Every structure is written in C-alpha cells, then in structure tokens.
Amino acid sequence: MSLPLLEIQRLNKSFGRVVAAHDIDLIFEPGVLTSIIGPNGAGKSTLINLLSGSIHPDSGSIFFEGQDITRLPIHRRVKMGLCRSFQVVNVFPELTVFDNARIPLLALRKRAHGLFRPVGGEKDVHREVLEVLERVGLPAEAGTTASALSHGDKRLLEVGIALAAGPKLLFLDEPTAGMNPVERSKILENIRSLSREGKTTFVIVEHDMDIVFSLSERVIVLHHGVVIGDGTTEEIRNSPRVREVYLGEEVPS
C-alpha cells in the first residue's frame, strides 16, 4: 500500500489557555481536493501554520510521504513539496510578476546559488515561469510590478508563487478572500483544473459554504481545535454534530 501524502498524529497546540489544536489525527491522500472549514477561532489557521512550519506543535507528529517533518524548518518542507499560500496578500511587492514567480522556481531547480551568472541566462527557469503564469492566468502581466496589480490579480499571483515552488501538497488559505464574483469564479475554475492535472493536491481553507460544497471531494470541520466532522460533502451536510455547531444557521433543513 502506498504511503499517504501527509499524516498527522495526535497534534496539540495551545496558546496560553486557548486550545487551537487538540489531538488532531488526519490523513491526506494524493489527488483528493479537500476543504477545511470551521467558525472563526476554530484553529484552521493554526493547523496550516503547524503543517507548513511557521509554528511548532506542543506535541504530536507530522509525516510527509512517510518522513517525520514535525521539526523541519519551513524552506525544507517547501523543498519536499509542502507549500502554502496566504490569506492576506503576501507577495514581493516591488518586483515584477515574473520575478515573483521566478524566485521559488530558482530554488526548486537549484539555480538560486548562481553568484555571477546573470539570472536572465536561466532559460529553463524562464520557460517554466511563463508556464506557471499561464496556469494562474497572468501571462500578460509578467512585466508588471506586483504592487500595481489589482487585488484579484495579486491573489492569483499569491497562488502562482505557491505553485511555482512545485508543491505536491498545497494549502490555500482563503484563496478567494476579498475577491469580486468574476475573479472568484476565475480562480475556482483554475483550482479545479489544476487539481485535475494531478500534479498538486489542494487543501483549501474557506469560509464560503457554496465554494466548499461545489469544489471539494472531502470536507474537514474544525471546532475549538477538534475535528468534529470529516467526510464527503454529503456526509458533512447530513452530520448532526456539524449542523449543530456550525451549519445550523446556514443550511436550513
């Protein structure tokens, strides 16, 4: 039997008296588009931060393709293929869109050390950067300074930077936050088709129930740092526990 992509065992994290993760056990299989939902303060961001390496757990283990990565620094996880995007726009503002996507690709192709070779000479990287921009729908903006992009395009670039690192597993933290409906459907269509390509497994943290139920094959519900629901969209919709704490108001029966 093949190893799961990511396995979390009894993960705990608290900030003072606030429990943000309590004995979380989860397994992510390759290719399954998953969403993580939960009310504010449920521990979604903490979970992503724990998995991507921004913070370390109080106890518990994280395995990526069978390897223990619980204490690994961020950049090592990225190199292994575990990456994330951010809820707030977090790009390189004064660099061009092209350079924004070029930085992770240089790291991925191990070309980031060249001290005296002009960066423009890396033709392979050049081509791949254009491919990434194509995939997120920003090829025309390659020469634009990132800070000059519209908010929606910045969000696309945000996803583009994450994709350029060549992740096997990619966490998207509220990828549609602050987008207008047109941009929103554009990025969702993107995620859907990228997921179908099969190179990258997506895990999305979302507020918007419509998005979650239309997009995902699996939904995980967090509440006060505890997993209270995990299953297909149908199962989550019909779970009494989930409806009680979370969906009660939003989905009338």
Partner 1 sequence: MVHRYLTYGLYGAMAAVLIGIGLFSGRFMLYMTMKVMILAIFAMGYNLLLGRTGLLSFGHAAFYAAGAYGLGLVSLHLSSHPLLGIFAGLAAAFVMALVIGFFCVRHTEIYFAMLTLAFGMMVFSLIWNLRSITGGDDGLVGIMRAPLDLGFFSIPLRKANHYYFFVLFFFLLSIFLIHRIRQSSFGLILAGIHENDRRIEFAGISLRNYRLAAFVISGVFAGLAGTLGTLLESNTAPFSAHWSYSAQPVLVSLIGGIHTFAGPMVGGLIFIVLREIIERFTHNWMLWFGIILLVIIMGFRGGVVGALSGFAKQKKTASTEI
Give residues in contact with partner 1 (CB under 8 A): 52, 73-75, 78-79, 83-84, 86, 90-95, 99, 102-104, 106-108, 111-120, 122, 161-162, 164-165
What values do phi and psi take at 244, rounded to 5? -65, -50
Q: CB of residue 1 vs partner 1: minimum separation in angstroms?
A: 29
Q: CB of residue 176 vs partner 1: minimum separation in angstroms?
A: 20
Tokens 């705990």, located at residue: 12
> Which lies closer to partner 1 via its Cβ, residue 18 or residue 88?
88
Q: CB of residue 103 vs partner 1: minimum separation in angstroms?
A: 5
Distances, alpha carbon 18 to alpha carbons 15, 87, 206, in Å? 5, 22, 22
CA distance linking residue 97 with residue 157, whole number of Å: 7
Q: CB of residue 228 vs partner 1: minimum separation in angstroms?
A: 29
> Which lies closer to partner 1 via its Cβ, residue 93 or residue 248?
93
> Which lies closer to partner 1 via its Cβ, residue 70 or residue 216?
70
CA distance linking residue 214 with residue 205, whole number of Å: 14
Distances, alpha carbon 90 to alpha carbons 22, 132, 151, 241, in Å? 29, 18, 12, 36
> Which lies closer to partner 1 via its Cβ, residue 37 or residue 83?
83
Cross-strand partners of 201: 169
The one-letter amino acid at 191: I
Burial (CB count within 10 angstroms: exposed 0-12, middle 13-18, buried 19+), residue 207: middle
> Which lies closer to partner 1 via its Cβ, residue 131 or residue 208?
131
CA distance linking residue 212 with residue 28, whole number of Å: 17
Q: How crowded is residue 127: how many other Cβ atoms within 10 Å of its Cβ?
A: 10
Q: CB of residue 130 vs partner 1: minimum separation in angstroms?
A: 16
Report CA torsion sign: 216, 171, 44, 157: negative
Tokens of 5: 């992509």
Q: CB of residue 17 vs partner 1: minimum separation in angstroms?
A: 27
What values do phi and psi take at 7, rounded to 5? -130, 130
> Which lies closer to partner 1 via its Cβ, residue 94 or residue 189?
94
Q: CB of residue 48 vs partner 1: minimum separation in angstroms?
A: 11
> Which lies closer to partner 1 via its Cβ, residue 16 or residue 118?
118
